């Protein structure tokens, strides 16, 4: 992060950011790597967040164990880009990409602000008691939140 312009996110739009800046926005919480379940359509749609993690996610660090090969190893893994960001309404409300897209500031615990790679864990933002998908039979036993 040392070669990034300080506070670049405050004066650059998401579309103006280079690849390094875009990647640096990720706080490393790992929440996007936890499985979600969508039920219904339109106004009746419900989004269920679970504590079921992708098998590649390190549950302790919130980092992908195979980041460079994730798309080959996990067919369900989707890449968040500047172009498809509007399609990712399921991103957690704490996600920097979602916050900036909605015109909101980064939270005070974000590593770009604290300059501490452990600040997300210290702020208790990560999902606790995560379990890997390969160990799950019934997803509904692991629902942690519902967004309407």
Each of the 148 residues of the chain gets a pLDDT tens digit; together they read: 558 899 999 999 999 999 999 999 999 999 989 988 888 887 888 888 889 999 999 999 999 999 999 999 998 888 888 888 888 778 888 999 999 999 999 999 999 999 998 999 999 999 989 999 999 888 778 888 766 4
In this prediction, residue 26 carries a pLDDT of 93
Predicted TM-score (pTM) of the model is 0.84
Q: Which of 107, 101, 131 is nearest to 119 (CA)?
A: 107
Helix or strand holding residue 119 (H, E): helix 119-122
Count of CA atoms in the C-beta half-sphere (13 A) of 88: 22
In this prediction, residue 1 carries a pLDDT of 54
Region of residue 42 (phi > 0: left; psi between -120 and 50: alpha; otherwise: beta): left
In this prediction, residue 109 carries a pLDDT of 96
* Domain spans in the chain, listed from the N-terminal domain onward: 9-147
CB distance 13 to 82 below 8 Å:
no
């Amino acid at each position: 992060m040392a070669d990034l312009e300080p506070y670049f996110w405050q004066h650059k739009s998401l579309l103006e950011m280079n690849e390094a800046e875009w990647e640096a926005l990720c706080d490393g919480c790992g929440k996007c790597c936890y499985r979600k379940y969508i039920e219904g359509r339109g106004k009746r749609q419900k989004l269920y967040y679970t504590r079921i993690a992708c098998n590649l996610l390190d549950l302790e660090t919130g980092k992908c164990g195979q980041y460079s090969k994730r798309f080959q190893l996990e067919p369900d893994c989707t890449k968040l880009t500047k172009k498809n960001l509007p399609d990712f309404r399921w991103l957690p409300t704490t996600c920097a990409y979602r916050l900036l897209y909605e015109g909101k500031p980064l939270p005070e615990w974000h590593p770009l602000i604290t300059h501490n790679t452990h600040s997300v864990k210290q702020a208790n933002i990560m999902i606790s008691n995560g379990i890997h998908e390969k160990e799950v039979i019934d997803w509904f036993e692991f629902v942690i939140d519902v967004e309407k």
